[in-house]
Amino acid sequence: MKLHNAEKVEGTSIKIGHRMGRMRTGATRTSKMYTAVFKDLDGRWVNRSLETTNRQKARRKALEIQIGLDEGRREVAPTRIKTTDLINRYQAFIENKGLAPKSVAKYKSELDKLRAFIEEHHLTRADAFTDLIFYDFRGWLQKHTHKQGVNYSPKSIQSTLTVTKQVFKWGWKQKLLPGYELANTTVPKARPRKQPCFTSEQVELLLEKATGQTRDAIAILAYSGMRVGELEQLEWGDVRLDKGALGVFHIRRGGSRDTTKDKDERFVPIHPRIRPMLERLPRRATRVMPGLRSRKLLAQLKEHCRRCRFSQQFKVHSLRHHFASLCANHRIAYKKALAWLGHSSSDILDLYYHLHDHESESAMRSLAEDHGWGHLDANGNGNGKLSASAEGDASWVNFGSPGVPEEKSDPEHTLSSVLRNGGSMETERAGFEPAVGRNTPYDDLANRCLQPLGHLSGKPPIVTAIIHRVK
């Protein structure tokens, strides 16, 4: 075996280095893990992974091997399990683990890809599946197509490679493999793809076109953020119209085994847009939407999108994205939005909150003013004058007025434009609720704070300073 950066460990007859291999493309790839090459007690050459990328640790492990040789210790030969047997055992472990049927099916799909690669490349021994082969598998996935005739997405490849690492790590822990060869392999994280998201104007137009249970389902999904499975299994006992002024949904089922996808129950306030709809719905069955089926709803939604000249990329789940975008657009606290949507974290919610990051815009205004770039009012207007102390003999610059999305009168954001362009793929820009007024909550707070001070003439300077700070 050829080793890269090989060295003979002092006091031993063992060489250590990085194993080198050649891919099918002809390119050379070097393992990150150190390998020891030596003769065993029977005079046969042995190549053993030292399971470390640290040279000092590799030297110490080589010394341990040499001590064992000097003492005449014979190591028990590791089990030579076949790769297909290891995969089958891991799949049986997953099936007996008590996971949801959809999760088991997902694992089987990922393992089938690994089986196909193993069979095509005749990789019989599981202990021979090194990090070099792992990266070959990644390249193989990138070149192959899905059953629908399209290439695997980066997210799908990430999922398959993650399951592959789990297989070999499990085999190592079960002592079916002498080591975990893939310990230091990395799976590049796939960037989330841009997902279609209805605007509130589009949702309202869909509600004008739809009728019956389809209309009710679209409205509830768009203004509650529920998953379609959660709406399918929503019962009237979970709709608490008597709780508070708005009422709440108690979402506690919708996935497998009579629970939600994330196994947690949650409460979501009922949006005023859909409360009258819930009040008039008949209660002849246990479920709110008896007979609702996700596939049928998807077909009907696609048909309404076609009639409205919206993109055919929209899905039923796009209504959930609309609600997430609505939360971001109206400054709902991130943690509260996660709780309503039933997430501990969410890439999609992160995306919407980054797009609607008013705190970031406010911080940039402060930065501009602190560095002498002129005063910016609440609308972003300013004189644009550079400070002479900051920039020397600076000239006047017109910065314009960036404004805020809810208050723009840009014709590109009108409903007719949305229809003309075949539906928007942008996030929510003008939500169903009225636009959030600037400083209104703070003005109310200030007035309440000043009520006890009515006997004073005017606002005390200290109170004025506090109010100005809060704003």
Q: Residue 265 maps to which CATH number? A: 1.10.443.10
Residues 209 and 296 in one domain: yes
Residue with tokens 């039923």: 316
Q: Is 162 a domain residue?
A: yes
> Last residue of some domain: 355, 374, 401?
355
State the pLDDT confidence band at 182, using cuts at 50, 70 and 90: very high
Residues 50 and 93 in one domain: no
Q: Is 396 a domain residue?
A: yes
| pLDDT surpassing 70 at residue 298 | yes
> Last residue of some domain: 355, 390, 410?
355
Residues 216 and 229 in one domain: yes
For position 113, what pLDDT does the model report?
96
Q: How many helices (H) and strands (E) does the chain have?
A: 18, 7
Q: Is 185 a domain residue?
A: no
Residues 365 and 346 in one domain: no
Residues 279 and 415 in one domain: no
Residues 25 and 127 in one domain: no
Could you tell me the residue range of the domain that residue 426 belongs to? 358-431
Q: Is 307 a domain residue?
A: yes
> What is the per-residue burial (b if ≥16 Cβ within 10 Å, else e) of 388-422?
eeeeeeeeeeeeeeeeebbeeeeeebeeeebbeee
Residues 444 and 426 in one domain: no
Residues 395 and 414 in one domain: yes
More confident residue, 455 or 384: 384
> Last residue of some domain: 330, 355, 380?
355
Q: Is 166 a domain residue?
A: yes
Q: Is 283 a domain residue?
A: yes
For position 419, what pLDDT does the model report?
38
| pLDDT surpassing 70 at residue 305 | yes
Taking alpha carbons only, the member of 139, 175, 172, 171 closest to residue 157 is 139
More confident residue, 114 or 416: 114
Torsion over CA of 3, 131, 133 and 129, rounded to 10 degrees?
Answer: 100
Residues 268 and 343 in one domain: yes
| pLDDT surpassing 80 at residue 375 | no
- What average pLDDT does the segment 360-365 reach? 73
State the pLDDT confidence band at 178, using cuts at 50, 70 and 90: confident
Query: Which amino acid does the sequence have at 240?
Result: R
State the DSSP H helix or E strand holding residue 215, giving kind and residue range, or none if neither: helix 212-224
Question: E strands along 265-327, which residues?
Answer: 266-269
Among 65-69, 304-308, 454-458, where is mean pLDDT lowest? 454-458
Query: How many domains in the chain?
Result: 5
Tens-digit pLDDT profile for residues 136-146 = 999 999 998 88
Residues 63 and 102 in one domain: no
Structure tokens at 322: 């609309």
For position 195, what pLDDT does the model report?
81
| pLDDT surpassing 80 at residue 258 | no
Q: Is 182 a domain residue?
A: no
- What average pLDDT does the segment 343-358 reach? 78
| pLDDT surpassing 70 at residue 109 | yes
State the pLDDT confidence band at 367, using cuts at 50, 70 and 90: confident
User: Angle formed by the axes of helices 200-209 and 317-329, to 10°?
Assistant: 140
Residues 226 and 340 in one domain: yes
Q: Is 188 a domain residue?
A: no
Residues 298 and 380 in one domain: no
For position 382, what pLDDT does the model report?
54
Tens-digit pLDDT profile for residues 315-347 = 999 999 999 989 988 888 889 999 999 887 777
